Structure 1
Amino acid sequence: MPDLDALALRYSRIYLRLHRHLDRRMAAQGASLARAKMLNFIANNMPVRAADVADWFALAPRTVTQAIDTMERDGLVVRVADPADRRAKRLEITKNGEQVIRQTEPLRRELVEQAFCLLTPADTAQLERILDKLELAIETRLEGPSDQS
C-alpha cells in the first residue's frame, strides 16, 4: 500500500515549487503572481464581489479589500454598484487591468508548459483523470453539503 501521506506531501511540494517559480519569474518582469491570479479570477467570473474573491482564494476579507484597494488605486479594477444589492459592490476589470493580464499571461503559459513538458499526451490524460478523482473525493467526502456555498 502506498504511503498516502507522502503522496499528499509530494503533491503539495510540487504545487508550491511551481507557484514560487511562477512568482519569482513574474516578479523579475515587474509583475505579481498574486495580482495576476486575482485579476484573472475577476475577469473570468464577472460579475464578482470582493467576498467571492476571498472565498475562492481562502483569504481573509480584509486581505482582499487591501488588495482590491491597491488594484483600484493602480487603475486595474473598479468597484461598481451591484444592481441586485445596492449595499454591495461588484468588481470590474479596467482596460489597464486587461493589459496587465495580456502582459502576464504569456509568461504564465510558458512556465506551465515547461513544468508539464515531460508528460506525454497519455500521461496528461491520466493525470487529468486522477485529478478528477481527487477533486470528486474532496467535494463528496471532505466538503459535505454544509461546506458548499
Structure 2
Amino acid sequence: MNDPHMPPHPMKLMGRAMRGFSRLADAALRDLGFATGQLPVLVSLKHRQTLSQAELARIAQVEQPSMAQLLNRMERDGLVQRMADPADKRSRLVSLTADAGERMPQARAVMQSLSQQALAGFTPEELAQLTELMARLNQNIDRMADAADSL
C-alpha cells in the first residue's frame, strides 16, 4: 500500500516522465512521419551513413528480431533502404532515404522544443546536477546489463 507521506520512488518518477515525454513526442513527430521508437535508428544512420541491422540493434539496445520488425516498418514507410553488404553477402546494410534525411532537421527541432518545455524552470546548476545523476544511473544500469549478459 502506498504511503501518502513517502515521496515516490525515483525509478517510478523517471518511468512516468519518459512515458509522458514519449507520448507527447510521438504525437508531435507523427505529422513528420516519424515515431520516437525510430529515433535511435534515424540518428545513428544520419551520423554514420550506413550500418548493419546488428549494429543498429546494439546501438538501440534491442534484440535482433525487434530491430528487424522496426526496420521492416521503416522501409515500408520510406524512411530507410536496405542493400546487400559488399563485404558479406548474407548481411544487409541500412541507410536513410533522401526523404527521411530531409525531414530530420524538422524532427530535431520538435524534439529540442519539447525538451526545452520539459526542462523549463530548471536552473543551469540543476540541469547539470540532473545530467550528472542520470549519467551515473545509466552507468549503473549498463553495468547490471553487462553482468546479466555474461551469465
Query: Could you tell me how far apart the structure 2 residues matched to 1:139 and 1:60 are?
Result: 16
Query: What is the TM-score when the length of structure 1 is the normalising length?
Result: 0.78
Quick check: 1:75 aligned with 2:78?
Answer: yes
Runs of 4+ aligned residues of structure 1 deviating over 4 Å after TM superposition are none
Structure 2, unaligned runs of 5 or more: 1-5
| Aligned residues of 2:32 and 2:107 also touching (Cα < 8 A) | no
Quick check: 1:127 aligned with 2:108?
Answer: no
> How large is the RMSD of aligned CA atoms in angstroms?
2.7
Quick check: 1:64 aligned with 2:46?
Answer: no
Matched AA of 2:88: D
| Aligned residues of 1:36 and 1:101 also touching (Cα < 8 A) | no
Residue correspondence of structure 1 range 1-149 to structure 2 within 5 A: 6-27=9-30, 29-34=31-36, 36-37=38-39, 38-140=41-143, 142-144=144-146, 147=149
Q: CA deviation at 1:90?
A: 1.0
Structure 1, unaligned runs of 5 or more: none
The aligned length equals: 144
| Aligned residues of 1:43 and 1:93 also touching (Cα < 8 A) | yes
Query: Could you tell me how far apart the structure 2 residues matched to 1:53 and 1:35 are?
Result: 12
Q: CA deviation at 1:14?
A: 0.9
Deviations 1:56-112 (A, max 9, x none): 445454443343234334433221232332211111112112012123221111111
